[in-house]
Structure formats: C-alpha cells, structure tokens
Chain A
Amino acid sequence: MGHGTLEWVYVGVVVAVLIYIGADAWNVETFLDHAPEDAQVVKVTAQQWFWTFEHEDGRRELGELHLVKDIPYRFEVTSLDVIHSFNTPDFAMMIDAVPGRINSIWYVPDQAGEFLIQCREYCGFSHYQMRAKLFVEEPAGGGEQEAQVTNASATNNLIPPLGAAAVAS
C-alpha cells in the first residue's frame, strides 16, 4: 500500500481536530458544571403542562419567573409526573426535569427583558404550549430591593398576578 501515508496524515488531522474540540468542550463544561457558591436557588417544578417556581425566600410563582439581572441563579429542576425539560432558548440553557431526581443548572441573566421558558422534552398532549414567561429586571437600589422581597414573601402563595405585580413594581 504505497498510498497509505496520505490516509494516515488525513486521519491524523481529523483526530487532532477532534482532540481540540474535545478539550475545549471539557474546558467549557468544567466551568458550566460548577455553580457559584453565592448563587440564588430557584426550585423549578414541572407538571403536565405548567411550571411552578419557588425562590429561596419562599416566594412562589406559577407560569412566570422573575429574576434580577446580573445575579447568578441555580435552578433545581424536577418533575411531578413525566419527563419534561426546562429550557430558556434565549440564554441557551436547558436541563431535563426527571421525576424522582433533582437536576441543577445555573446561569447569570445578563440581559433585562421578557423571555420564553418552554418544555423541550415531549410530555404529551399540550407539550407544545407548556410555556412560561421569564422576566429579567434591572437590579433596583439595595434598600428598595429588600423592601420588594419582604413585600413578596408576605403574599406567600400561588397567586401569580399579585406576585408578579409585587416584583415588577
């Protein structure tokens, strides 16, 4: 086989490219796999076919999630019935919601505005409209934010419009 050399060179190049990709993926993933210590925990619960969220301070939201810009959040995602997947495409973040397991993922919302939360794992009839709204707000001044939190925890039950109004004010 006189023409073997060419093929070995080619295979070598392919392997080198793959090693580069694998190493870079390893690098990025080690970063993504470790949430910052000071991250706020948000418990995300999926059910056919809606989302509930519970903040660290006990505030609960249904179908809407309010976060503050530039604060790291860690989401603890689980499901009560079938497998769902917690996905916010604008922040390129997703993790499956598996019943009987708590999966976690973290990110820092670096952009204020209104974003889409959707289910990305087939979960039956209304899978396509299992959506929620993500509101990322500009951080308010320190004292004001404190006030909001106490205000919200006072109405500690599943009343989304009120909870939303409290945070958005």
Chain B
Amino acid sequence: MVLEVRKPRPLWEILFSTHHTDIGLLYIIFSLTLFFLGGALAISIRTELFLPGAQVFEDANTFNRVFTVHGTTMLFLWVIPFAAGIGNYLIPIMVRYKDMAWPKLNAVAFWMIPVGAALVWLGFADTTWNAYPPYSILRAPGPAAEMWIFGLKILGISSILGAINFVVTILKMKHPDLPMMKLPLFTWSILSTSLIILMSMPTFAAALIMLYTDRLGVSGFFNPAMGGDPLAYQHLFWFTFHPEVYVFVIPAIGMIYEIIPKFSRKPIFSYTSGITAFILLTIVSFASWAHHMFATGMSFTEKTVFMIGTLAAVPASAMHIFNWIATMWGGRIRFKAPIAFVVGGIITFFLAGAGGVVNSAMPLDFLTHDSYWVVGHMHLFLMGIITFAFVGFIYYLFPLITGRMYNERAAMIQFWLMFIGVFLVFVTQHLLGLYGMPRRVVDYVPVEPLIIMNQISTVGAYMLLVGMGIFLFNLIKSAGWGKPANMEDPFGIREKYYDYRRREPHH
C-alpha cells in the first residue's frame, strides 16, 4: 500500500522517492493523466468529423497538430509509461527482490518522461506521429518539429534505461530459489518487452538525430534534393516501431495472464505455451516492419518477404488467445470488473488480429493502407485490447495500491459503455476505410455513407468519454472514500493476492 489515504505521506516523500512502488505509482498517475488529456484531443477530433466542413477547428493546421499530439501522447505517454509503472510495482515482488536493480536509474528514467511530454505538448508539432520526411524536414514548421524530435529522443532514452533496469532485475536480482520457469507470465512479458526495446529503440534514436540534422540542412539523409532517400527513414522508423507494437501489446498480454487464472479459479492452461508464444513474438516482431510500406513502391520480393514475416506473428498471438480461452473453459468464473475488461479485450484482440491479417495480405493492403481502416485497426488494438487490459489491471491492483475497493457497479457500467463504444467507433472506421476515406483529414467528401458512419463513430466516441468520466470519478472517489478492502482476498475469490504487507524502508 503506497497511496495510503488514511495515513497520508507528504507529497515530496513520494516525488523524491526511489522506491519501486512509489515510482510505479508516479508512472501510473502520470500515464493516466496523459491518457485523459490525449482522450480530450480524440474527442475534439471526433467532434470535428461529426459533419463534413469545419466544426471545431478553424483550419487544417490546428487539426493536424491535434492528431499528431494525440497519437504521440497515447503511444509514448500512456501505453509505455503505464506498462512500465505496473512493471515497477510488481516485478520486484514477483522476483522477490527488495527493489529494482538500480533504484536511482529507475527514478531518472521516470523523471525524463515529464520532460519529454512537456516538449511534445508545448511544441504541438504537425508532423504526424511518424514524422515522415521530406515533409518533416522541409515543410513542417519549427520549433514545434524540433521540440517533437527532442521530446521523442528523451522518451526513447527513458524507455531504454527502464528496459535495462527490468532486464537486470529479472535476470540477476531474481531470488536464487526461484527458477525462471516458475516466474509468473507477467514477468516473462516484461522481460520480452524490455528486450525488444533494447534491440529496436537505438535505431529510432539514430533516425531522430538524422532527422534533426536534415532539418538543420547540414545533412541530407532523407532529402532527395541532396541525394538522400525518404524511404530510408521509413525503414528505420518501422524497424523500431513495428517491434514497438509488441512492446505495447505484450505487457497487456502479461496482465491478462495475471487476471484470468485468478478469476477463473483455475491454473493457467499451459504455462510453457505462454512462454513459447512470448519468445516467438519477441523474435518475429523484427521480421515484419516493412509491411507498413507496401504502398511506397516496394518490389514484389520485398512485399512477399514482409508479408510472410507478418503472418508469422499470428500463430503466436493465436496461442495466447487459445491459452486464455482454455484457462477460462470450465472455470468457476467470478465476473468482477477486472476479468470483464479482460474478456472484452480478448474479443477485440481477435477482431483486430483478423483485421491485421487482411492488412498484411499484399493486394488487400492497397485497399486499407492509409485509410480509416488502418485507424480503426490500430485503435482496436490500442483502445480495444491494450487499454481494456490496462483498465482491468488498474481495478485489479486498486486494493493493493490504495487499500480500498473501487465501486464495482460503476466499473461494470464503464465496461459496457466502453465495450459498445469501442465497437461503434472503431469497427465503423474499418468500413469508412473501405469506402475510401483517407486518414488524417479534417474534412471529407460530403456523401451520405461517409457522413452516417462518421456520426456513428462520433457517438461511440462520446460513449467512451462518458465511460472514461465514470472511470476517473470512480478512481478518485474510491481512493479517498472507498470501502476498506479485505487485503487477504479483496475480490472474494479465494485466490492468493499480492503481498500487501511488503513495505521496505523508503530510500
């Protein structure tokens, strides 16, 4: 219990702490805050697109900036820090060590994130979150683009430092009596994630520097007028960010593995297949980056190679889904909020995965690429499985963090709003893409199918907004005034909960 409201600690003691639970708490609160801010931007985007023509934004410029910051925020300031926060909280407990391997490095890694976030938010660039040159080097207005580059640079270093800390904590600080094959699957998921970050992130770090010198005009790596190749950036970018997709999703998969056996009151169907699938995903994640670039004029051979690399990731994901369903099968499931969110997440994971197979099939990619299909597809992942698993896990950890219970009924109302909302918003966006609506547009051709589907999508977005409002209210109210939890078994499922008594001296 860190956020003890009954015996509050002074704020500075949490802020300057290097203890893993305090830093985990800071990560969680920070990422949730940015999640709500990024969500506000999303609502403004959906409101704008409710009707063709201008609603919210005077001109396309502001709109372009808003979706750029929305994307950057949700990926780098919500998904990654949240997973790092939960990892901070649980990894030392799971490997039975008193803290992370390097507590001070841990604090440094966290405190770099608000700096990066400030650069991204104060700059408000319009490069899109992938900042393709030559637009980003020749035409994107400064200093916003420079601030975006440096913000991302800092966030990248932060996640590399965090990843080193996790790898060392798991591999070297693990209790000697605890074999690797007895570690919870969540630990394996954080280990896979950290290894992917360590292998992929440096590439993007280099690409960012090249982007910056190109902007200064001293080099021409990506500037065709100076003999550079804009596609080289796309290769470097996706070499980092396709594996990064697995960095987003694997911690969510690990959290689902924590929740499902507990609430199904049955052991995991197959522990080894879970680990196998994690390892497979880690390796295969590096074999598929250029499937984002089929439409840039790749040769037939390249397209074939990357299509096969992409399809190779499917069996591993399918193994996870099988494992979850087989674990729940025949279990005495107590449908509390955590597992409700997880089951919703599994359903969207299946749908998003099926959509991903469509994207990777070469001819179909030309239908879906850069259309609203892709927007719907990746949001079905990010909002569907990843955020659902994260929200479920917040509810699961809520008693451990606050010592109090959240309001179960409000959580279930939030679940149904979000579950229906996600389908309305993102499945409709798949159809919009098939009708040919490009992504990143402030206005669209005013024809009836596009208008109707955009309106359905916006209505769904407002359902998500209401759900998120309930979520925020539930978190604040229950943390302050909720019913004190029974810490041995807060969910009444007769399963072991995390050791809440663990309270190392703060340093």
Mark A residues whose CB is within 8 Å of B: 1, 3-4, 6-7, 10-11, 14-15, 18, 21-22, 24-26, 28-30, 32-33, 48, 81-83, 85, 87, 89-90, 92-96, 98-101, 103-104, 116, 118-129, 131
Contact = CB atoms under 8 A, between A and B. Distances in A.
Contacts of A11: 315, 318-319, 322
Determine the interface band of chain B, counting residues with CB < 8 A from chain A.
Answer: 35 or more
B297 A96 contact: yes
Interface in B315-334: 315, 318-319, 322, 326
Interface stretch (B127-135, B160-168, B256-264): B127-135
Given A85-B370, A103-B296, A129-B443, 15 more contacts: A6-B326, A18-B314, A33-B300, A82-B135, A90-B436, A96-B296, A98-B231, A98-B296, A100-B224, A121-B132, A122-B132, A123-B135, A124-B126, A127-B440, A128-B60
A128 B437 CA distance: 10
Interface string B399-438: 0000000000000000000000000000000000001101
A92 B438 contact: no
B369 to A, nearest CB: 7
Contacts of A82: 132, 134-135, 138-139
Contacts of B357: 18, 21
A93 B322 contact: no
Given A21-B361, A82-B138, A120 B442 contact: no
Contacts of A7: 270, 273, 319, 322, 326
Given A1-B270, A7-B319, A82-B138, A30 B295 contact: no
A156 to B, nearest CB: 28
B102 interface: no
A101 B59 CA distance: 31
Contacts of B213: none
B108 interface: no
B474 interface: no
Contacts of A48: 139
A32 B439 CA distance: 24
A22 B270 contact: no
Interface in B430-475: 435-436, 438-445
A85 B234 CA distance: 15
A103 B298 CA distance: 9
Contacts of A124: 64, 126, 135, 139-140
19 contacts: A3-B269, A7-B270, A7-B326, A10-B322, A14-B318, A81-B134, A83-B230, A83-B296, A85-B370, A94-B369, A100-B229, A100-B230, A101-B231, A103-B296, A119-B438, A120-B370, A122-B128, A128-B444, A129-B443
Nearest to A126: B60
B176 to A, nearest CB: 27
B135 A103 contact: no
Minimum-distance CB pairs A-B, first 5:
A89-B436, A100-B224, A103-B297, A128-B441, A25-B361
Interface string B329-373: 000000000000000000000000000010001111011011100
A96 B445 CA distance: 21
Contacts of B304: 26, 29
A25 B363 contact: yes
**Of residues A85, A122, A126, which shows the largest number of chain B Cβ atoms within 10 Å of its Cβ?**
A122
Given A82-B134, A100-B224, A122-B128, A128 B270 contact: no
B311 interface: yes
Contacts of B300: 29-30, 33
A104 B322 CA distance: 42
A73 B428 CA distance: 33
A87 B138 contact: no
A119 B445 CA distance: 13
Contacts of B303: 29
